[in-house]
Amino acid sequence: MGELVAWGLGIALGYTAKDLLSSRSRILAFALSIVVLGALITLFSGEMTSEPWLVIVDISQVAVAALIGAFALPFALRRLRDTSRSTSA
């Protein structure tokens, strides 16, 4: 279940922050929020006490999902919107 939360929150973070990635300080804040979000997911799922190395896995899942949300998702939504407009016209 934690993996779904990591992917969902990562995609949401990337999609909402896609326009803010213009300066170094904002990119640093984006990266820091990825690390914090991944660590919090590991902590709240209870994996931190049994296997603390899983924090690396959760951070990397959030990072990949955030990059998908920032770059691939807007492109896919734009393409889907254009396709639906062309079929309805």
Listed in sequence order, the residues at least 6 apart from 26 whose beta carbon sits closer than 8 Å to its beta carbon are 20
pLDDT at residue number 1: 61
Listed in sequence order, the residues at least 6 apart from 54 whose beta carbon sits closer than 8 Å to its beta carbon are 42, 47, 48
Query: What span, in angstroms and rounded, lies between the C-alpha atoms of 6 and 47?
Result: 13
Query: What span, in angstroms and rounded, lies between the C-alpha atoms of 11 and 48?
Result: 23
Residue 72 has pLDDT above 70, yes or no: yes
**Using one digit for the tens of pLDDT, what is the confidence trace for 30-51?**
999 999 999 999 999 888 888 8
pLDDT at residue number 15: 92
Domain edges within the chain: 2-88
pLDDT at residue number 89: 60
pLDDT at residue number 82: 86
Alpha carbon 61 to chain centroid, angstroms: 8
